[in-house]
Amino acid sequence: MTKTLIIIFFILLFTTPAGAVPTYVMSGMVTDVSGRPAAGADVAVYLGPNVKKPADFMSNRTTDDGKYSLALPQGHYWAVAVLRKDGRKFGPLGLHDKHSAGAVEIDAGPDEDMVYNFTVMALKDAALKARKRNKNLLEVSGRIMGPDGKPAALAYALADPGRKFKLIPRYLSAWTDKSGRYSLFLPPGHFYIGAATGFPPKADYRLKDELTLKADRHNFDLRLGAGQK
């Protein structure tokens, strides 16, 4: 053993705490829907599939290159990327905030490739993306009303074939203005439909109204629950 190796051995011996848990670096890039690097984004990592709560691990905030990294103990995780314009780390997304929508499952360990890239989008971008990947869509429109019976601004309509969805419903409208009016584009069929103000919707959110769609449907008003205003 050379003198250099002996020195390295003793450095590791006396600087690594006994029983320390090894960590593995997860890294990648966060971009917007146009493929441009997203500066100011966070990658939030969770121990379970519920990603609508404070994160268990959080990356550095991305700079102009959109790159992030964070160290994780060995294990199985769920991760999303979020870009909040006001710099907050937690809380519901606002009008101009962006989210990567579906959570990515990752495994941290010595034999895993831990490079994960994310695309963040605003609610309007998500609604347009759903429209582009579907043809022959029908329009459902109306107003979203608050618990007080008045039009709700900064709300949106959401629909899915199932009453309970995993993370993001399949179909979304854009944010409403002060008139509360929304437009939602769906293929023909049976759907559960609702309205919310937080994006993504809460983990226990269930779509209450039902709609069988064979033609455009207008004046289909939706009401926010008492806890959603």
Q: pLDDT (tens digit, 9 = 90+) per residue, 94-150?
A: 667 888 867 889 999 988 889 999 988 876 666 666 555 555 788 899 999 999 999
Q: Is 15 helix (H, G, I), strand (E, B) or coil?
A: helix
Residue 13 domain flag = no
Question: Interior CA angle at 69 toward 166 and 43, to 5°?
Answer: 30
Q: Would you call 67 exposed, middle or buried from its count of C-beta atoms within 10 A (0-12, 13-18, 19+)?
A: middle
Whether pLDDT at 19 is above 90 = no
Whether pLDDT at 49 is above 80 = yes
The reply to whether 72 and 164 lie within a common domain is: no
Number of domains in the chain: 2
The reply to whether 127 and 219 lie within a common domain is: yes
pTM: 0.54
> 183 forms bridges with which residues in the sheet?
141
The reply to whether 137 and 203 lie within a common domain is: yes
Residue 217 domain flag = yes
Domain that holds residue 184: 123-228
DSSP state of 99: E
Residue 11 domain flag = no
Answer whether the bond into residue 37 is a cis peptide, omega within 30°: no
pLDDT at 89: 63
Tally: H helices and E strands in the chain: 2, 15
List the CATH number of the domain containing 194. Answer: 2.60.40.1120
Q: Which of 86, 102, 119 is where one domain is finished?
A: 119
- Return the H-helix or E-strand segment holding 185: strand 181-186
CA pair distance 103, 174, nearest whole angstrom: 21
Residue 141 domain flag = yes
The reply to whether 144 and 56 lie within a common domain is: no
